[in-house]
Amino acid sequence: MELEVSLSGELPDERIYQEVSAVGLLRGEYIFRRAGKYLTADEGPHLLREYIKETLRIFPDKDVWYRFVDAPANEINMLEGYDEYVLEEFPTIGLRGMRRAMELPHSFEIEFNVVSELAKEHKNLHIMFPYICEMDEIDFGLEYARKYSFPNKISCMMETPAALWHAREIEKRGIEHFLIGMNDLSSLVVGASRGSGYDRHNHPAILGMLKTLRSDLKNSRLSIAGYMKPAFYDLAKETGMDAISVHYSSFPAFFGEKFKDYRDMDFMLNFKKSDNRKRLRLWAQSLLDVANDNDSMTIQGLHWHRKG
């Protein structure tokens, strides 16, 4: 089983290159969350381009898998230049990933254009479609790949039970690389909020689903990622994973003290503390505004959109 690294907006230490086989997951949304500006802000495309270029500089001959933005609406709402303000009671299962890309295609097109231009210069830059629930979302992403003549590999996240259900059909579309996202999958399968302690990654239902997925996708490459505890490393091997992508910030916990002094190793810890407070305050105030003044919002399906 290969060891890969997941990046969440960190500026990784160049020494990490020697430790991993690839950047198994580059989470697009964290580039913008760190800057406080969204993709559709004036500087958005530049921020995206420069971060990916720096990652490619550090990993010039190793695969870099870029995952398109997969932020819940309440995280995007707090960024300068957001494309649309969307208020939801349960944002982690709302308008996100490819669902948001289909709803707001202009934003997805900006993102795809930047990544596609870089991929034509770097054969090791690949793309990943996030939060798949419907085959229409796969087809939508593949249509953009054809439109932009995307030259490199294409992958998708397997982080919802629906995605696992569609696995064989997705493979038939020509996708041969899949990344299991344990954060969402464990929450959705076990029926518990992320980080609650009930969403344990070693739940027998989850392990059983991973083994079934491995059996279903015998001819494809299957990797796994998420905020996992070190003990899950062995479980990933047991369930037949080809690779595990460990979060950059988790390397000290997984592999020892020598990683503690790597550049930006504490970024996520410090960022999450401050960012979560701001996000929760804005979300709570927005929900309160809706409760107190129905005229300030209009409901569209399951989503509350601020009126123009």
Fold classification of 2-303 is TIM Barrel (3.20.20)
Report d(CA 214, CA 176) in Å as an integer. 12
Residue 200 in tokens: 């344990």
Q: Whole-prediction pTM value? A: 0.93
Cα 3 to Cα 8, 19, 202, 223, distances in angstroms: 17, 8, 20, 10
pLDDT in tens, 13-23: 999 999 999 99
* Residue 121 or residue 275, greater confidence: 121
Which pair of structure tokens corresponds to residue 187?
Answer: 């929450």
Which pLDDT band holds residue 302 (cuts at 50, 70, 90)? very low
Neighbours of 278 (CB within 10 A): 11
Q: Which residue from 47, 49, 53, 52 is spatially nearest to 66, judged by alpha carbons?
A: 52
d(CA 94, CA 91): 5
Cα–chain center distance at 258: 27
Starting at the earlier edge strand, list the strands of the sheet with 303-306. 86-87, 303-306, 297-300
| Crossing angle (nearest 10°) for helices 105-119 and 44-58 | 30
The one-letter code for the residue type at 22 is A
Query: Among 54, 90, 60, 47, which residue's Cα sits nearest to residue 72?
Result: 90
**Residue with structure tokens 């349960």?**
90
Torsion sign across C-alpha atoms 167, 111, 262, 201: negative
Token pair 């308008």: residue? 95
pLDDT surpasses 60 at 268: yes
- Quote the CA–CA distance of 285 and 219 in Å, as a whole number: 49
pLDDT value of residue 280: 78
pLDDT digits (tens, 9 = 90+) for 23-56: 999 999 999 999 999 999 999 999 999 999 999 9
Cα separation, 33 vs 17, whole angstroms: 24
Euclidean distance between CA atoms 44 and 295, whole angstroms: 32
- CA nearest to 232, candidates 207, 208, 214, 197: 207
